[in-house]
């Protein structure tokens, strides 16, 4: 049989165990909330950092657009000096019209069909084979110097049959500086 004192003790122990269980549950819930809050804080900090980075990117884009608008004419003028794949035929037309005026015959040979890297620039290598005289060759070189395109004569080889001022065969090696990227695709 149970004594009267042992029943109240069991009820007291049960109440204590229930209260201890509730306390442990509350502590676990608090720990879970603390972990979740820390994760949320880390997420919020990351989002704020990304927001600041986006704001900086917007400022950079805005500044770049302002600079681009301010220097658009100068950029277009510089770009015109360096032909690309689309407007390279205009350079060839210019070159051919100059050669027609100052030679008896000519050939244009592309040493490469795609641009070659030279330091931080792209170039196309050409070889001009000309039948002309020295004075007209000098006029061609003057025209190339005045050309609205960036070119560089790298060498001239002469086979003259008519003396220093007579007609002869000339080979002119040259570079044509082109836009980077050359292809618009």
pLDDT single digits (tens) 80-104:
888 888 888 999 999 999 999 999 9
Determine the 3-state secondary structure of 103 from DSSP.
Answer: coil
Q: Is residue 107 predicted with pLDDT exceeding 80?
A: yes
CA 120 to chain CA centroid, nearest Å = 12
Say if pTM beats, i.e. exceeds, 0.85.
Answer: no
pLDDT single digits (tens) 7-56:
676 677 788 888 888 999 999 999 998 988 988 998 999 999 999 999 99
Distances (CA, A) of 137 to 20, 119, 157, 169: 106, 30, 11, 10
Looking at residue 13, what is its pLDDT?
Answer: 74
Residues in the chain: 185
pLDDT single digits (tens) 123-167:
999 999 999 988 899 999 999 999 999 999 999 998 876 666 678
pLDDT single digits (tens) 72-83:
888 888 888 888
Selection from 110, 125, 113, 124 nearest residue 179 by Cα = 124
Q: What are phi and psi of 161, to 5 degrees?
A: -95, -20
């Amino acid at each position: 049989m149970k004594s009267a004192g042992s029943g109240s003790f069991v009820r007291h122990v049960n109440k204590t165990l229930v209260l201890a269980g509730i306390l442990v549950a509350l502590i676990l819930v608090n720990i879970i909330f603390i972990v979740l809050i820390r994760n949320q804080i880390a997420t919020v900090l990351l989002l704020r950092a990304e927001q600041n980075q986006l704001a900086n990117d917007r400022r950079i884009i805005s500044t770049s657009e302002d600079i681009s608008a301010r220097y658009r004419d100068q950029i277009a003028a510089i770009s015109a000096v360096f032909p690309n794949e689309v407007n390279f035929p205009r350079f060839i037309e210019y070159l051919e019209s100059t050669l027609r005026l100052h030679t008896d015959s000519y050939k244009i040979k592309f040493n490469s069909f795609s641009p070659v890297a030279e330091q931080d620039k792209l170039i196309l290598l050409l070889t001009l084979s000309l039948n002309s005289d020295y004075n007209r060759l000098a006029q061609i070189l003057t025209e190339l110097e005045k050309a609205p395109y960036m070119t560089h004569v790298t060498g001239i080889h002469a086979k003259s049959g008519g003396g220093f001022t007579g007609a002869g065969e000339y080979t002119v090696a040259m570079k044509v500086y082109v836009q980077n990227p050359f292809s618009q695709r």
